[in-house]
Structure 1
Amino acid sequence: MNFTFNQSRPIYQQLADQLEEMIFLGIFNPHDQVPSTTQLSQQLHVNPATILKGMNQLVDKGLLEKKRGLGMFVTAKAPAMIQAKRQEDFYSNYVKAIVAEACKLNINEDTLINLIKRGYDHD
């Protein structure tokens, strides 16, 4: 389990994003316990309050749940929630732009679909 941080965004946000990615990739599965705030703080040399702030973001999203006296665990619905959000982001960030560019180029829907299929055939 490796975390990397840069200066572009707050550390707590980067931690939350990286933990979310680990859940999405199956490094942490539903009902798995994630490392404690203390463990992460010591391992990463980051203030425990910063770690907790990042983890609480995932609690607020419903991806982690706190079990008093036991720690934080991945919720059963976390992977599906992450996938649904990423699919919506994919639509918003990529599909809409592709369709807009296709319209500018006078590429109709059928031709665009064929181009997308062609992209799948090359992988």
Structure 2
Amino acid sequence: MAQHFQSEKPIFIQIREKVEDQIVRGSLKEGEQAPSTTQLVNFYKVNHVTVAKGMNQLVEAGILYKKRGIGMFVAKGAQQKLLQKRKENFASVYLINMILEAEKLKLSEEELFDLIKKTKEEIHNDA
């Protein structure tokens, strides 16, 4: 069964991000073998070149490394590197638009914090 992808983002980026998510969550650990390009092609039902492009970006970023004839593996420090990158991007990707919208709605900081806490509780209660 083909996986659903977001239309506003290239598929190779979404595949790269899915592998990154596995590393950040710890389901793919340092030194462990990453899914092969063939496995990802079969799972996502997409072109080999698309998958390879996303995986090669991870290699170029030092998140994965290749062992010739064996496959790709999670590099030492990959999880920390990804966490740091995501923390640095968090404000620009998520917070700026949220704060601007909260200001349009004339939400106080306290109301915004309360809304965040309430939403977080709902997420954890649904899980």
Q: What's 2:76 paired with?
A: 76
Q: What's 1:22 paired with?
A: 22
1:1-123 correspondence runs (5 A): 4-8=3-7, 9-93=9-93
Please, which runs of 5 or more residues in structure 2 have no aligned partner?
122-127
Identical-pair percentage = 41
Using the alignment, how far apart are the partners of 1:13 and 1:39 within structure 2?
17
Pair 96,29 (structure 1): closer, same or farther in 2 beyond 3 Å: same
Using the alignment, how far apart are the partners of 2:87 and 2:15 within structure 1?
22
Q: What amino acid is aligned across from residue 27 of structure 1 in structure 2?
A: S
The offset of 1:5, in angstroms, is: 3.2
Pair 12,95 (structure 1): closer, same or farther in 2 beyond 3 Å: closer
Please, which runs of 5 or more residues in structure 1 have no aligned partner?
none
Using the alignment, how far apart are the partners of 2:96 and 2:60 within structure 1?
29
CA contact (8 A) 2:3 2:44 kept: no
Using the alignment, how far apart are the partners of 1:7 and 1:36 within structure 2?
22
| Secondary structure class of the residue paired with 2:72 | strand
Using the alignment, how far apart are the partners of 1:11 and 1:51 within structure 2?
8
CA contact (8 A) 2:3 2:45 kept: no
| Secondary structure class of the residue paired with 2:73 | strand
The offset of 1:29, in angstroms, is: 0.5
CA contact (8 A) 1:65 1:72 kept: yes
1:94-118 deviations in whole A, cap 9, x for unaligned? 56678889xxx9x9xxxx7xx96xx
Using the alignment, how far apart are the partners of 2:91 and 2:4 within structure 1?
28
CA contact (8 A) 1:5 1:11 kept: no
